[in-house]
Structure 1
Amino acid sequence: MLVGCALIFGGQSMYRRTFLQAFLSTCAAQPLLSQLLMASETSKVNWFTALKPAHQQALSRQKPLLIIFGASWCGFCHKLEKETLGDKRLAQFVMREFVPVKLDFDKDDKAAKILDVEALPATVVINTEAELLARSTGFHEPDKYAEILQSAIRRQSEILQARHTQTRPS
């Protein structure tokens, strides 16, 4: 089953999806995290700070966009960045599986509104076609955050599998 933008954006799904696409083109957690994270050259997240170049990278790498909204005045945003996204294993996982984007809630208010961000810190994971893969608000420990991101990867696989099934000749 595909998650359409109606679920992301409520009643104005076609308008917002079209706008976003135009905007883009212009406890058992420890074993899970250990399984997800393999050795990588980087131990920190290299963030995009604008959606357009991030979307282009996501298209070329065929990876979902991991969009984090924060603000300078948000204490839990700093905590998420330092304690969770600063975790070496999680940073490696993020860099391997996503195109990471960090946006300022106050400066990138247009994107925040389109993606229905109302509380911080906010994590929104979308695929290159602006379909919602995961959403989370607030601070999470690295293992819990890895679970959220893994669910986004599973959702992406489900969408791709559904598309493949729909396009396969009968």
Structure 2
Amino acid sequence: MKKLVAFLIITVTFVGLSSFKAIKAKPVGFSFYKGTYDNMIREAKKQRKPIILDFWAAWCAPCQKLDKETFSDKELGNYLSQNFIVYKVDIDTFDGMEIVDRFAVDVFPTMIVFDPKNGQIGKFKGFYPPGYLQKELEKIQAKHNLYPVSTQDGLAINR
């Protein structure tokens, strides 16, 4: 009987942890920048890429939906990794609150498109499906002539 109870406890724990791990799975196709905000700005300048600041909170259901449905989309992930540095801003941290104030964010989730040279160039409030978000980001790229730097014969050129 004790073995059966121990087996059930281990099984329930394993299933629970597996389910939690599936919810916290990383998006496919790209990864969020992991360093500090200041280092991310330096990296964006170095790579000559605009930034997407994703303002989110663990308690925010639309934020979770954005992670699960939009940022996990492989096609969008590939597009983002080629064209942007994406940084998650946890609004429940002191650093996050400071960035929220800096960009006057009042709705969650909010995504700010930020060019280190020109400042804020786009803002998206709420949930966006992956295809629609990509089209809107492409419009911002075209409007501000922000295309990834590629190399051809060793020379850096803008596409």
TM-score of the superposition, structure 2-length normalised? Answer: 0.69
Q: Distance in 2 between matches of 1:81 and 1:154?
A: 25
Contact 1:69 1:104 in 2 (8 A): yes
Please identify runs of 4+ aligned residues in structure 1 that moved more than 6 A: none
Deviating more after overlay: 145-154 vs 89-98: 145-154
Contact 1:133 1:155 in 2 (8 A): no
Q: Distance in 1 between matches of 2:40 and 2:118?
A: 13
**Paired position in structure 2 for 1:25:** none
Q: Sequence identity, in percent? A: 23
**Gaps (5+ residues) in structure 2?**
1-26, 147-159
The one-letter code of the counterpart of 1:134 is G
Q: Indicate which of 109, 115, 127 corresponds to 1:121.
A: 109
Higher helix share: 1
SS in 2 for 1:54: helix
Contact 1:69 1:121 in 2 (8 A): yes
Q: Indicate which of 44, 48, 51 corresponds to 1:65.
A: 51
| Higher relative contact order (Cα pairs below 8 Å, separated by 6+ residues) | 1
Higher strand share: 2
The two structures, once aligned, show a CA RMSD in angstroms of 1.7
TM-score of the superposition, structure 1-length normalised? Answer: 0.64
1:132-143 to 2 correspondence within 5 Å? 132-143=120-131
Q: Distance in 2 between matches of 1:122 and 1:98?
A: 16
1:153 CA displacement: 1.1
1:87-166 to 2 correspondence within 5 Å? 87-107=73-93, 108-157=96-145
1:130 CA displacement: 4.9
The one-letter code of the counterpart of 1:100 is V
1:48 CA displacement: 1.7
Classify 1:130/1:101 alpha carbon distance in 2 versus 1 (closer, same or farther; 3 Å). farther
Number of residue pairs aligned between Structure 1 and Structure 2: 117
1:105 CA displacement: 1.3
Classify 1:46/1:125 alpha carbon distance in 2 versus 1 (closer, same or farther; 3 Å). same
